[in-house]
Structure 1
Amino acid sequence: MSNMSKAARTGRPRNGAAMDDGTEAGGAGAANGAAIGQAEANGVARSGARPRQESAPISRRRLLGTAGAAGAAGLMAGGAAGAGVAAAVDGEPVALATVGSAHIPFEGAHQAGIVQPAQARGHLVAFDLVAGADRKDAAALLRRWSDAVRTMTAADRPSAPAAYDDQVAYDAGPSSLTVTFGFGRSFFGRTGLGSALPEALAPLPDFAGDRLDAARSNGDLWVQIGADDALVAFHALRVLQKAAGGTAAVRWQMNGFNRTPGAAPHPMTGRNLMGQIDGTNNPKPSDPDFARRVFVPAGGSPGWMAGGSYAVVRRIRMLLDDWDHLAVARQEKVIGRRKSDGAPLSGGTEFTPVDLAKFNADGSPAIAGDAHVRVAAPASNGGAAMLRRAFSYHDGIDQDGTPDAGLLFVAWQADPLKGFVPVQRKLDGGDGLSRFLRHESSGLFAVPGGVGRGEYVGQRLLEG
């Protein structure tokens, strides 16, 4: 087993940022071994580290990667990062550090960035086509973008296509980079593709808890970037922005983060900014109905969406000062799980199924009637569920001293009218957690299936 493969299976924390069974504080989920193992079986998980080259001198890229791994090991043993650098220089060439060499293929049946664990750094960006840009221009843009991402995500990649390279990530490996592309409802009218507009891309209904900023909502094109290195993620963003010049302009951008690989002593469900273990009950690729819930089936309508998915994107501010004023016992009652280990208040461990019918000795329900896990549970919503894969965000402190922080919520489903919409309606009316959340932006995007060699994302739509 290579260093990379071993880390991907045993050392990569699940970067969840979701409120367990719910959607409006959804995240990447848990059960790392099962999810990553299934993803590998599907050919879309992290591949192994590059083979060691015995005779080649150590490159700057491999030196910096090795220094990162050696520095971490030195700190654990009471040493210093400098010792790791010296060892890398004086010893024989070694492979790039595990985090840097982690590689997720761009090509496949589905776009990357859906089933994989959410990375440590993320950017969500919406673009609008410029005046006069048409279907042909959009197709050329998607080809440029796809070619650039194919290059940047390659296992032994150059930094970027030469036309866009600024050398920001010159020394880094792919670092689990994924870039996922989607189309907003407005895209179809602007490109004369109204007849191909999916019914599932109908506008989301208004919800009572919405305080939406139109300038930070929707968009013609949507891009999700994730990587386990901040410079790699930023570099991908810059490359795509430059490649869009003359065809599309940024409408809005949001930046997020999750736990860094290796920050926890063992793989575990992540925590959100409320301090809650978050994502325990997320659907897993090993579930028998996973594909049916998440991906549009072959033969579905429209045909160009086969193998694709629909992404609901919401910027959800967490009212952290209000939340932090609650006693931990009260926070646990709002969620329905213990804060320390994520176990349901009905008993057991984190992954014990929630018993919604259990009562305490005093006759009160173990899971309160407005507890988040009860209101959001599939059993309370006719089986509706979706794959939540999110990033936390922190955009500074407002003038009143409150943090502008929360969740960049991304939910994946085969049909949002059967996934997100019914669950959010239920949450909107009866979730105790909703008092501590504010939905500030929203978008819905059709994310087509993956691509083969030489293809570009959206080709079946734009050339159909």
Structure 2
Amino acid sequence: MADQSLPQTRTPEKAVNDGVSESAPKEGLSRRRLLGTAGATGLVLGAAGGAVGYAARPAEATPLTSLGSEEVMFHGKHQPGILQGLQARGHLVAFDLAAGAGRKGAAALLRRWSETARRLMAGETMTSDDTDVARDAGPSSLTITFGFGHSFFARTGLEKQRPLALDPLPDFSSDRIDKARSNGDLWVQIGADDALVAFHALRAIQKDAGGAAKVRWQMNGFNRSPGATAHPMTARNLMGQIDGTRNPKPTESDFDRRIFVPSPGDPAWMANGSYAVVRRIRMLLDDWEQLTVKAQEQVIGRRKADGAPLTGGSETTAMDLEKTDAKGDLVVPLNAHARITRPDQNGGAAMLRRPWSFHDGIDTDGVPDAGLLFVCWQADPLRGFVPVQRKLDRGDALSRYIRHESSGLFAVPGGAAEGDYVGQGLLEG
């Protein structure tokens, strides 16, 4: 939960028409075209600044709102689901390859998954056996992202191609890790602005796995829906805090160097890829909510109302780490979360955070099982996540109110070119 800005939520344009066509569906049409999402908004600009064009919609169709019509491209330099803004609904799922699947089986699986991801992200149905869960929806900014865990390489005989950066994360003293809900051979991140679209993709990915892989663990997350606030703003977490105010931005000159593996990569198949650290962080909300707002602000180092540093200004104002109060005490305590996680306090270590909140029910004692599905992206986790977490482990005031319960590290290769599948450079190289 580092003090780095989350991608801002998007504010959808006003809907042209909230209805859908009542005409009978025609076979062979995608659900996106069927519902008139093509051409509904002209051009849509993504987080990376790329424009997505739509063909003119059929005259008889009725357009969706802009929220449903937004489409993210599957093919590209980087995989989708990294640079896009926060999505309202997400699923994280890890798979283990079946015994005997090997490299050949893994390649066939990634080929199937990539084609399914391409189709669903374009608002199309599956090639066969579609569940129709998302039949009435547009693409809804669906993204599907694939990664490889440390164990994947031994199972496929590709140990020599395993990146050094994928070495297991060190143990941290505050961890309470459930190994059954950690790591995995393969990792898939699914996000969308519509819950049914996200679930549809999850079921499609699971069904595509067939006998080649089985689910190891699966987690569900959510964020504030785009357009729920009067203007785009940094998201809040389940503690009520504006969560992250210093996320690296693609416009910064060193963004690519910090977040993506350069081309040519080391190893070559990781060019333009990134490494995802995934942590399920339980928030001890009953304990946290017993604190006064002032005490919560001292733990974080920022005002709860607007995310501004305790030293004054607005959310984006630089924090004055040396400022003292009338008694001579530091205004931002030495163990405040925002102080410890600042890149300039960690040798420049930076991560692109793209997390999800979760709530998995209330236990028999009435305690909510809720918190943050922490996902962060970096070119090298040994220079990004690890040094920051080590420092947090030694004295973060927030640590008594959270508990790290599962963990994973995954190598996420660059995006697939037209006609290729994700990971093809590794599996066929």
TM-score (norm 1): 0.83
Q: Name the residue aligned to 2:334.
A: 369
Contact residue 187 and residue 221 of structure 1 kept, 8 A: yes
Q: Separation in 2 of the partners of 1:351 and 1:49?
A: 36
Q: Name the residue aligned to 1:167.
A: 132
Q: Separation in 2 of the partners of 1:181 and 1:374?
A: 33
For 1:258-297, list aligned pairs within 5 A.
258-297=223-262
Q: Separation in 2 of the partners of 1:141 and 1:121?
A: 25
Deviations 1:152-203 (A, max 9, x none): 111xx32x22324110001111000000000000000000000100000000
Unaligned 5+ runs, structure 2:
12-43
Q: Offset of 1:20 from its aligned partner?
A: 2.6
Q: Offset of 1:209 from its aligned partner?
A: 0.8
Contact residue 48 and residue 84 of structure 2 kept, 8 A: no
Q: Name the residue aligned to 1:124.
A: 92
For 1:26-425, list aligned pairs within 5 A.
28-30=6-8, 39-41=47-49, 43=50, 47=52, 51-53=56-58, 55-56=59-60, 58=61, 93=62, 95-154=63-122, 157-158=123-124, 160-425=125-390
Distance change >3 Å, CA 305–CA 164, structure 1 → 2: farther
* Amino acid of the structure 1 residue aligned with 2:177: L
Per the alignment, in what secondary structure is the counterpart of residue 47 of structure 2?
helix
Q: Name the residue aligned to 2:24.
A: none
Contact residue 31 and residue 284 of structure 1 kept, 8 A: no
Q: Offset of 1:358 from its aligned partner?
A: 1.4
Q: Offset of 1:29 from its aligned partner?
A: 3.8
Q: Offset of 1:361 from its aligned partner?
A: 2.5
Q: Separation in 2 of the partners of 1:214 and 1:164?
A: 34
Q: Name the residue aligned to 2:15.
A: none
Identify, as 1 or 2, the structure richer in helix.
1
Q: CA RMSD in A?
A: 1.6
Q: Offset of 1:413 from its aligned partner?
A: 0.3
Contact residue 181 and residue 457 of structure 1 kept, 8 A: yes
Deviations 1:100-156 (A, max 9, x none): 1011100100000001112000000000001111101100000000001111111xx
Deviations 1:22-58 (A, max 9, x none): xxxxx7344979xx967343x3x7x3676443x32x3
Pair 1:20 & 2:20 matched? no
Q: Separation in 2 of the partners of 1:394 and 1:352?
A: 32
Distance change >3 Å, CA 223–CA 31, structure 1 → 2: closer
Per the alignment, in what secondary structure is the counterpart of residue 418 of structure 1?
coil
Q: Separation in 2 of the partners of 1:402 and 1:19?
A: 25
Per the alignment, in what secondary structure is the counterpart of residue 442 of structure 1?
strand
* Amino acid of the structure 2 residue aligned with 1:450: G
Q: Separation in 2 of the partners of 1:296 and 1:37?
A: 24
Q: Separation in 2 of the partners of 1:303 and 1:355?
A: 42
* Amino acid of the structure 2 residue aligned with 1:394: H
Contact residue 165 and residue 381 of structure 2 kept, 8 A: yes
Q: Separation in 2 of the partners of 1:50 and 1:273?
A: 40
Q: Offset of 1:425 from its aligned partner?
A: 0.1
Q: Name the residue aligned to 1:73.
A: none
Q: Name the residue aligned to 2:22.
A: none
* Amino acid of the structure 2 residue aligned with 1:284: K
Q: Separation in 1 of the partners of 2:360 and 2:55?
A: 37
Per the alignment, in what secondary structure is the counterpart of residue 39 of structure 1?
coil
Contact residue 124 and residue 255 of structure 1 kept, 8 A: yes
Contact residue 48 and residue 101 of structure 1 kept, 8 A: no
Distance change >3 Å, CA 127–CA 188, structure 1 → 2: same
Q: Name the residue aligned to 1:444.
A: 409
Contact residue 2 and residue 341 of structure 2 kept, 8 A: no
Unaligned 5+ runs, structure 1:
1-17, 22-26, 59-92
* Amino acid of the structure 1 residue aligned with 2:223: N
Q: Offset of 1:266 from its aligned partner?
A: 1.0
Q: Name the residue aligned to 1:61.
A: none
Q: Offset of 1:386 from its aligned partner?
A: 0.6
Contact residue 29 and residue 283 of structure 1 kept, 8 A: no
Distance change >3 Å, CA 133–CA 330, structure 1 → 2: same
Distance change >3 Å, CA 393–CA 323, structure 1 → 2: same
Distance change >3 Å, CA 123–CA 296, structure 1 → 2: same
Deviations 1:276-320 (A, max 9, x none): 011211111111111100000012310100000000000000000
Q: Separation in 2 of the partners of 1:133 and 1:243?
A: 14
Per the alignment, in what secondary structure is the counterpart of residue 280 of structure 2?
strand
Deviations 1:372-399 (A, max 9, x none): 0111111111111110100000000111
Q: Separation in 2 of the partners of 1:151 and 1:138?
A: 20
Distance change >3 Å, CA 331–CA 220, structure 1 → 2: same
Pair 1:454 & 2:419 matched? yes
Contact residue 30 and residue 281 of structure 1 kept, 8 A: no
